[in-house]
């Protein structure tokens, strides 16, 4: 195999490992996907890989259930840097105003990656939130949502933000969606990263 194909396989393996190891709680394995300064920018928590692990452990202890599913994947690799995009669903189950619900958000993981000493790792993982929905787990139940609060969150992840706000998480409200200035700025930061420029994302 040539080096480009080996790198593409390694990047895809890294992306798959993130989801399997995070959702299974294999924390020591999960720690290895990050470079030391690597960051995760989620709606409910932002920080380094180690901070993200600590927040997940704390959330798990409180019964928070967030799972991930992945689909189509592509990557652009230049030297020791890469931008990867992977279609995904984020699924969260909890109670909203006493009613058990599932929230499913569709989008993409947009990843800034770097190879150091022959090993690929995450520099930054930024989800792009495209659309979401909330459904009662029990057929026939009705979820009594606060429509004003729901409308206050960005369209691409407003139901996800709603459920997370109800269980006490401070939700980040400037995440990129399917269209708009925010996602265009993310694409520009990705292009600059591939050209060897400093990381220009995740500082706000």
Per-residue pLDDT of 25-70, as tens digits, reads 999 999 999 999 999 999 999 999 999 999 999 999 999 999 999 9
Summarize pLDDT for 83-139 with one digit per residue, the tens: 999 999 999 999 999 999 999 999 999 999 999 999 999 999 999 999 999 999 999
Question: Does 201 fall in a domain?
Answer: no
In a domain, 137, yes or no: yes
Q: Are 178 and 128 in contact (CB under 8 A)?
A: yes
Answer whether residue 204 shows pLDDT above 90.
no
Quote the CA–CA distance of 104 and 130 in Å, as a whole number.
11
Helix residue spans in the chain (DSSP H): 3-24, 27-31, 49-61, 147-151, 158-166, 181-194
How confident is the model at residue 1, as a pLDDT? 65
What pTM value is reported for the model? 0.96
| CA-based torsion, 152, 101, 97, 46: positive or negative | negative
Question: Per the domain annotation, does 182 fall within a domain?
Answer: yes
Least Cα distance to 27 among 16, 18, 39, 37 occurs for 18
Tokens encoding 155: 């369209």
Tokens 């009705």 -> residue: 142
Question: Does a structural domain hold residue 204?
Answer: no
- What's the CATH code of the domain at 131? 3.10.450.50
Tokens of 196: 């060897």
Q: Is residue 199 a part of any domain in this protein?
A: no
Residue 29 lies in a domain: yes
Distance in angstroms (rounded) separating the CA atoms of residues 14 and 97:
38
d(CA 81, CA 146): 44
HSE at residue 80, side-chain half, CA atoms within 13 A, is: 11
Q: How far apart are CA 198 and CA 66, in angstroms?
A: 32
Supply the pLDDT for residue 19.
98
Domain that holds residue 91: 3-193
- Given a cut of 90, is residue 2 above it in pLDDT? yes
Q: What token pair was written down for 94? A: 């909890």
Q: For the chain, what is the domain count?
A: 1
Q: How far apart are CA 88 and CA 183, in angstroms?
A: 16
């Amino acid at each position: 195999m040539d080096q480009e194909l080996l790198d593409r396989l390694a990047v895809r393996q890294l992306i798959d490992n993130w989801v399997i190891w995070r959702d299974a709680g294999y924390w020591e394995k999960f720690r290895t996907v990050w470079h030391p300064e690597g960051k995760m920018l989620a709606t409910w928590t932002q920080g380094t890989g180690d901070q993200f692990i600590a927040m997940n452990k704390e959330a798990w202890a409180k019964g928070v259930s967030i799972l991930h599913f992945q689909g189509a994947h592509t990557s652009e690799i230049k030297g020791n840097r890469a931008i990867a995009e992977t279609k995904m669903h984020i699924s969260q189950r909890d109670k909203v105003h006493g009613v058990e619900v599932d929230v499913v958000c569709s989008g993409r993981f947009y990843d800034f990656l770097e190879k150091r000493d022959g090993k690929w790792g995450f520099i930054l993982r930024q989800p792009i939130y495209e659309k979401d929905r909330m459904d009662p787990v029990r057929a026939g139940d009705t979820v009594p949502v606060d429509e004003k609060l729901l409308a206050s969150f960005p369209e691409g992840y407003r139901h996800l933000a709603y459920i997370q706000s109800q269980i006490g998480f401070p939700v980040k409200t400037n995440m990129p969606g399917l269209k708009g200035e925010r996602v265009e700025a993310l694409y520009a930061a990705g292009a600059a990263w591939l050209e060897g420029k400093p990381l220009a994302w995740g500082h706000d």
